[in-house]
Homo-oligomer: A and B are copies of this chain.
Protein backbone atom coordinates (compact mmCIF):
# COMPACT_ATOMS: atom_id res chain seq x y z
CA UNK A 1 0.00 0.00 0.00
CA UNK A 2 1.40 3.35 -0.99
CA UNK A 3 -1.60 5.58 -0.49
CA UNK A 4 -4.93 5.23 1.20
CA UNK A 5 -7.69 7.78 0.62
CA UNK A 6 -10.15 7.73 3.45
CA UNK A 7 -13.53 6.84 1.87
CA UNK A 8 -15.45 6.35 5.11
CA UNK A 9 -14.51 9.73 6.39
CA UNK A 10 -15.50 11.44 3.17
CA UNK A 11 -18.86 9.66 3.34
CA UNK A 12 -19.24 10.70 6.97
CA UNK A 13 -18.47 14.30 6.08
CA UNK A 14 -20.98 14.53 3.24
CA UNK A 15 -23.64 12.57 5.15
CA UNK A 16 -23.64 14.56 8.36
CA UNK A 17 -26.82 13.86 10.32
CA UNK A 18 -27.87 10.89 8.20
CA UNK A 19 -26.90 8.31 10.82
CA UNK A 20 -28.62 7.90 14.17
CA UNK A 21 -25.37 7.24 16.04
CA UNK A 22 -22.45 8.94 14.34
CA UNK A 23 -19.35 6.83 13.74
CA UNK A 24 -16.48 7.64 16.10
CA UNK A 25 -13.94 10.09 14.73
CA UNK A 26 -11.37 8.35 12.53
CA UNK A 27 -7.99 7.14 13.75
CA UNK A 28 -5.07 5.87 11.69
CA UNK A 29 -1.37 5.14 12.00
CA UNK A 30 1.57 4.38 9.73
CA UNK A 31 5.07 3.28 10.67
CA UNK A 32 8.36 2.64 8.93
CA UNK A 33 11.51 0.74 9.82
CA UNK A 34 13.76 2.24 7.16
CA UNK A 35 14.04 2.30 3.37
CA UNK A 36 16.93 1.06 1.31
CA UNK A 37 18.31 -1.39 -1.17
CA UNK A 38 16.75 -4.35 0.54
CA UNK A 39 17.42 -7.67 -1.12
CA UNK A 40 15.14 -10.70 -0.96
CA UNK A 41 18.20 -12.93 -0.85
CA UNK A 42 19.30 -11.48 2.47
CA UNK A 43 15.88 -11.69 4.10
CA UNK A 44 14.81 -15.34 4.50
CA UNK A 45 11.33 -16.41 5.56
CA UNK A 46 12.20 -16.65 9.24
CA UNK A 47 13.77 -13.16 9.31
CA UNK A 48 10.88 -11.71 7.36
CA UNK A 49 8.44 -13.18 9.85
CA UNK A 50 10.40 -11.61 12.73
CA UNK A 51 10.49 -8.22 11.03
CA UNK A 52 6.78 -8.29 10.24
CA UNK A 53 6.02 -9.34 13.82
CA UNK A 54 7.97 -6.33 15.09
CA UNK A 55 6.12 -4.02 12.71
CA UNK A 56 2.79 -5.51 13.86
CA UNK A 57 3.76 -5.06 17.49
CA UNK A 58 4.58 -1.40 16.83
CA UNK A 59 1.27 -0.89 15.02
CA UNK A 60 -0.60 -2.51 17.90
CA UNK A 61 1.18 -0.31 20.45
CA UNK A 62 0.41 2.89 18.58
CA UNK A 63 -3.10 2.00 17.44
CA UNK A 64 -3.98 0.79 20.92
CA UNK A 65 -3.33 4.30 22.24
CA UNK A 66 -5.51 5.82 19.52
CA UNK A 67 -8.35 3.30 20.01
CA UNK A 68 -8.48 4.19 23.71
CA UNK A 69 -8.91 7.84 22.72
CA UNK A 70 -5.31 8.75 23.51
CA UNK A 71 -3.34 11.47 21.75
CA UNK A 72 -1.43 10.96 18.50
CA UNK A 73 1.67 12.13 20.37
CA UNK A 74 1.46 9.14 22.72
CA UNK A 75 0.72 6.80 19.80
CA UNK A 76 3.79 7.72 17.76
CA UNK A 77 6.03 7.54 20.82
CA UNK A 78 4.67 4.09 21.74
CA UNK A 79 5.10 2.75 18.19
CA UNK A 80 8.63 4.10 17.85
CA UNK A 81 9.67 2.66 21.23
CA UNK A 82 8.71 -0.83 20.01
CA UNK A 83 10.81 -0.35 16.87
CA UNK A 84 13.73 1.04 18.92
CA UNK A 85 13.57 -2.05 21.15
CA UNK A 86 13.76 -4.42 18.16
CA UNK A 87 17.25 -5.44 17.00
CA UNK A 88 16.05 -5.50 13.38
CA UNK A 89 15.99 -1.75 12.81
CA UNK A 90 18.68 0.92 12.94
CA UNK A 91 17.42 2.76 16.02
CA UNK A 92 17.90 2.10 19.72
CA UNK A 93 18.89 -1.58 20.01
CA UNK A 94 20.35 -2.57 16.66
CA UNK A 95 21.77 0.87 15.84
CA UNK A 96 24.68 0.97 13.41
CA UNK A 97 28.23 1.79 14.52
CA UNK A 98 30.17 5.02 13.99
CA UNK A 99 33.73 5.08 12.69
CA UNK A 100 34.90 4.91 16.33
CA UNK A 101 32.85 1.75 16.87
CA UNK A 102 30.24 3.48 19.00
CA UNK A 103 26.52 4.10 18.63
CA UNK A 104 25.25 7.65 18.27
CA UNK A 105 21.49 8.00 18.36
CA UNK A 106 19.21 10.77 17.07
CA UNK A 107 15.45 11.22 17.47
CA UNK A 108 12.69 13.80 17.11
CA UNK A 109 9.00 14.08 17.91
CA UNK A 110 6.43 16.74 16.96
CA UNK A 111 2.77 17.37 17.72
CA UNK A 112 0.87 19.12 14.92
CA UNK A 113 -1.84 21.28 16.46
CA UNK A 114 0.45 22.78 19.13
CA UNK A 115 3.62 22.77 16.98
CA UNK A 116 5.48 21.50 20.03
CA UNK A 117 8.64 19.65 19.08
CA UNK A 118 11.63 17.97 20.72
CA UNK A 119 14.81 16.54 19.31
CA UNK A 120 18.10 15.01 20.41
CA UNK A 121 21.21 14.17 18.40
CA UNK A 122 24.46 12.39 19.03
CA UNK A 123 23.52 10.67 22.29
CA UNK A 124 25.29 7.40 23.06
CA UNK A 125 23.57 5.54 25.82
CA UNK A 126 19.85 6.31 25.82
CA UNK A 127 17.68 3.21 25.57
CA UNK A 128 14.74 5.00 23.94
CA UNK A 129 15.86 8.20 22.21
CA UNK A 130 12.32 9.08 21.13
CA UNK A 131 11.30 9.43 24.78
CA UNK A 132 14.29 11.69 25.38
CA UNK A 133 13.15 13.86 22.47
CA UNK A 134 9.73 14.03 24.08
CA UNK A 135 11.30 15.01 27.41
CA UNK A 136 13.14 17.85 25.65
CA UNK A 137 9.79 18.99 24.24
CA UNK A 138 7.87 18.79 27.49
CA UNK A 139 10.39 19.43 30.22
CA UNK A 140 12.84 21.96 28.80
CA UNK A 141 12.49 25.38 27.19
CA UNK A 142 14.31 24.01 24.16
CA UNK A 143 13.61 22.05 21.00
CA UNK A 144 16.97 20.47 20.20
CA UNK A 145 19.75 19.24 22.47
CA UNK A 146 22.91 17.51 21.22
CA UNK A 147 25.76 15.35 22.50
CA UNK A 148 26.88 15.16 26.10
CA UNK A 149 24.62 18.06 27.02
CA UNK A 150 21.60 16.12 25.79
CA UNK A 151 22.68 13.10 27.83
CA UNK A 152 23.13 15.24 30.93
CA UNK A 153 19.60 16.55 30.46
CA UNK A 154 18.22 13.03 29.99
CA UNK A 155 20.01 11.86 33.14
CA UNK A 156 18.49 14.74 35.12
CA UNK A 157 15.10 13.68 33.82
CA UNK A 158 15.57 10.09 34.95
CA UNK A 159 15.37 8.51 31.51
CA UNK A 160 16.56 4.92 31.02
CA UNK A 161 20.18 4.47 29.97
CA UNK A 162 21.81 1.33 28.62
CA UNK A 163 25.32 -0.10 28.44
CA UNK A 164 27.02 -0.10 25.01
CA UNK A 165 26.50 -3.88 24.82
CA UNK A 166 22.75 -3.38 24.79
CA UNK A 167 22.83 -1.66 21.40
CA UNK A 168 25.30 -4.05 19.78
CA UNK A 169 24.16 -6.57 17.18
CA UNK A 170 26.55 -8.76 15.23
CA UNK A 171 25.02 -7.74 11.89
CA UNK A 172 25.70 -4.04 12.53
CA UNK A 173 29.25 -4.76 13.68
CA UNK A 174 29.93 -6.68 10.48
CA UNK A 175 28.53 -3.74 8.49
CA UNK A 176 31.06 -1.46 10.17
CA UNK A 177 33.93 -3.85 9.41
CA UNK A 178 32.82 -4.00 5.79
CA UNK A 179 32.51 -0.20 5.58
CA UNK A 180 36.02 0.21 7.03
CA UNK A 181 37.32 -2.29 4.49
CA UNK A 182 35.69 -0.42 1.60
CA UNK A 183 37.13 2.84 2.91
CA UNK A 184 40.60 1.30 3.13
CA UNK A 185 40.21 0.23 -0.50
CA UNK A 186 39.07 3.76 -1.41
CA UNK A 187 35.67 2.48 -2.50
CA UNK A 188 32.60 4.66 -2.04
CA UNK A 189 30.45 3.67 0.92
CA UNK A 190 27.46 1.49 0.09
CA UNK A 191 24.37 3.61 -0.39
CA UNK A 192 22.68 1.31 2.09
CA UNK A 193 25.07 2.51 4.78
CA UNK A 194 23.08 5.75 4.90
CA UNK A 195 19.81 4.08 5.59
CA UNK A 196 17.89 2.80 8.49
CA UNK A 197 15.52 4.85 10.56
CA UNK A 198 12.25 4.12 12.28
CA UNK A 199 9.25 6.38 12.48
CA UNK A 200 5.53 6.76 13.03
CA UNK A 201 2.75 9.17 12.11
CA UNK A 202 -0.73 9.06 13.62
CA UNK A 203 -4.17 10.70 13.69
CA UNK A 204 -6.15 10.65 16.94
CA UNK A 205 -9.88 10.97 17.65
CA UNK A 206 -9.46 14.68 18.39
CA UNK A 207 -8.30 15.15 14.80
CA UNK A 208 -4.71 15.85 15.84
CA UNK A 209 -1.67 14.43 14.07
CA UNK A 210 1.88 13.78 15.28
CA UNK A 211 5.14 12.38 13.95
CA UNK A 212 8.23 10.75 15.48
CA UNK A 213 11.51 9.46 14.04
CA UNK A 214 14.50 7.69 15.59
CA UNK A 215 17.76 6.47 14.09
CA UNK A 216 21.23 5.13 14.74
CA UNK A 217 22.47 7.19 11.79
CA UNK A 218 25.02 6.08 9.26
CA UNK A 219 27.44 3.16 9.45
CA UNK A 220 31.04 4.37 9.84
CA UNK A 221 29.97 7.98 10.32
CA UNK A 222 32.40 10.48 11.82
CA UNK A 223 32.79 14.13 12.70
CA UNK A 224 29.56 14.27 14.67
CA UNK A 225 27.48 13.99 11.50
CA UNK A 226 23.76 14.63 12.02
CA UNK A 227 21.23 13.35 9.48
CA UNK A 228 17.66 14.37 8.80
CA UNK A 229 15.87 12.38 11.50
CA UNK A 230 16.35 14.89 14.36
CA UNK A 231 15.99 17.96 12.13
CA UNK A 232 12.49 19.39 12.55
CA UNK A 233 11.24 20.04 9.00
CA UNK A 234 13.63 17.59 7.31
CA UNK A 235 13.05 14.09 8.72
CA UNK A 236 10.23 14.89 11.12
CA UNK A 237 7.35 17.39 10.87
CA UNK A 238 3.79 17.86 12.04
CA UNK A 239 1.38 20.75 11.67
CA UNK A 240 -2.36 21.02 12.17
CA UNK A 241 -3.16 19.20 8.92
CA UNK A 242 -0.25 16.93 8.12
CA UNK A 243 2.54 14.84 9.69
CA UNK A 244 5.57 13.17 8.07
CA UNK A 245 8.42 10.90 9.17
CA UNK A 246 11.19 10.26 6.64
CA UNK A 247 13.86 7.64 6.07
CA UNK A 248 16.64 7.85 3.53
CA UNK A 249 19.92 9.48 2.66
CA UNK A 250 19.63 12.22 5.25
CA UNK A 251 21.73 14.87 3.53
CA UNK A 252 19.31 15.07 0.60
CA UNK A 253 16.31 15.12 2.90
CA UNK A 254 17.78 18.10 4.79
CA UNK A 255 18.60 19.97 1.57
CA UNK A 256 14.99 19.58 0.44
CA UNK A 257 13.35 20.10 3.86
CA UNK A 258 11.40 17.01 2.84
CA UNK A 259 8.95 16.63 5.71
CA UNK A 260 7.98 20.30 5.86
CA UNK A 261 7.90 20.59 2.07
CA UNK A 262 5.31 17.82 1.74
CA UNK A 263 3.05 19.52 4.29
CA UNK A 264 3.64 22.96 2.72
CA UNK A 265 2.49 21.63 -0.67
CA UNK A 266 -0.67 20.36 1.02
CA UNK A 267 -1.22 23.65 2.88
CA UNK A 268 -0.32 26.23 0.24
CA UNK A 269 -0.81 24.51 -3.14
CA UNK A 270 -3.79 22.44 -2.03
CA UNK A 271 -2.06 19.32 -3.32
CA UNK A 272 -3.59 16.09 -1.98
CA UNK A 273 -1.32 14.38 0.56
CA UNK A 274 -0.42 11.41 -1.66
CA UNK A 275 0.45 13.61 -4.64
CA UNK A 276 2.52 15.94 -2.47
CA UNK A 277 4.45 13.02 -0.95
CA UNK A 278 4.98 11.49 -4.41
CA UNK A 279 6.18 14.82 -5.85
CA UNK A 280 8.85 15.11 -3.21
CA UNK A 281 9.92 11.47 -2.75
CA UNK A 282 9.62 10.19 -6.32
CA UNK A 283 10.79 13.33 -8.14
CA UNK A 284 12.59 15.97 -6.07
CA UNK A 285 14.72 13.61 -3.96
CA UNK A 286 15.97 11.45 -6.89
CA UNK A 287 16.45 14.56 -9.08
CA UNK A 288 18.98 15.77 -6.51
CA UNK A 289 20.64 12.34 -6.33
CA UNK A 290 19.15 11.05 -3.11
CA UNK A 291 16.87 8.19 -2.20
CA UNK A 292 14.60 7.02 0.56
CA UNK A 293 10.95 7.21 1.55
CA UNK A 294 8.43 8.78 3.89
CA UNK A 295 5.25 7.97 5.75
CA UNK A 296 2.68 10.76 5.81
CA UNK A 297 -0.79 11.28 7.26
CA UNK A 298 -3.30 14.10 7.12
CA UNK A 299 -6.02 15.20 9.51
CA UNK A 300 -8.65 13.21 7.57
CA UNK A 301 -6.69 10.00 7.96
CA UNK A 302 -5.34 9.78 4.43
CA UNK A 303 -2.06 7.87 4.39
CA UNK A 304 0.86 7.94 1.94
CA UNK A 305 3.93 5.69 2.11
CA UNK A 306 6.01 6.41 -1.02
CA UNK A 307 9.65 5.30 -1.42
CA UNK A 308 12.05 5.31 -4.35
CA UNK A 309 14.21 2.40 -3.18
CA UNK A 310 13.71 -1.34 -3.66
CA UNK A 311 12.04 -1.62 -0.31
CA UNK A 312 10.85 0.08 2.85
CA UNK A 313 9.88 -1.70 6.06
CA UNK A 314 6.40 -0.35 6.72
CA UNK A 315 3.02 -0.92 8.25
CA UNK A 316 -0.32 0.83 8.53
CA UNK A 317 -3.77 0.67 10.06
CA UNK A 318 -6.14 2.81 8.01
CA UNK A 319 -9.27 4.66 9.13
CA UNK A 320 -11.45 1.71 8.02
CA UNK A 321 -9.44 -0.64 10.21
CA UNK A 322 -7.66 -2.42 7.37
CA UNK A 323 -4.06 -3.12 8.27
CA UNK A 324 -0.92 -4.46 6.69
CA UNK A 325 2.83 -4.73 6.79
CA UNK A 326 5.16 -4.77 3.79
CA UNK A 327 8.84 -4.82 2.93
CA UNK A 328 9.29 -4.91 -0.85
CA UNK A 329 7.38 -2.98 -3.47
CA UNK A 330 5.52 -6.07 -4.71
CA UNK A 331 4.21 -6.78 -1.22
CA UNK A 332 1.37 -4.30 -1.66
Contacts and interface: CB of A to CB of B under 8 A. Distances in A.
A141 B188 CA distance: 11
Interface in A101-119: 110, 115-117
Contacts of A232: 231, 233-234, 254-255, 257
A9 B269 CA distance: 27
Contacts of A144: 225-227, 231, 254
Contact of A264 (B110, B147, B148, B260): B260
A256 interface: yes
Contacts of A117: 254-255
Contacts of A225: 142, 144-145, 149
B264 A268 contact: yes
Interface residues of A, number: 45
Interface string A65-98: 0000000000000000000000000000000000
The dominant DSSP class at the A interface is: mixed
A121 interface: yes
A178 interface: no
A307 to B, nearest CB: 20
A200 B153 CA distance: 33
A5 interface: no
Interface in A239-294: 250-251, 254-257, 260-261, 264-265, 267-269, 271, 288
A140 interface: yes
A224 interface: yes
Contacts of A116: 255
Contacts of A261: 260, 264
A33 interface: no
Interface of A: 110, 115-117, 121-122, 140-150, 152-153, 222-227, 231-234, 237, 250-251, 254-257, 260-261, 264-265, 267-269, 271, 288
12 contacts: A115-B255, A116-B255, A142-B223, A143-B250, A143-B251, A146-B226, A149-B225, A231-B233, A233-B260, A237-B257, A260-B260, A268-B268
Given A116-B255, A233-B260, A257-B257, 6 more contacts: A144-B231, A145-B224, A149-B222, A233-B233, A260-B260, A268-B268
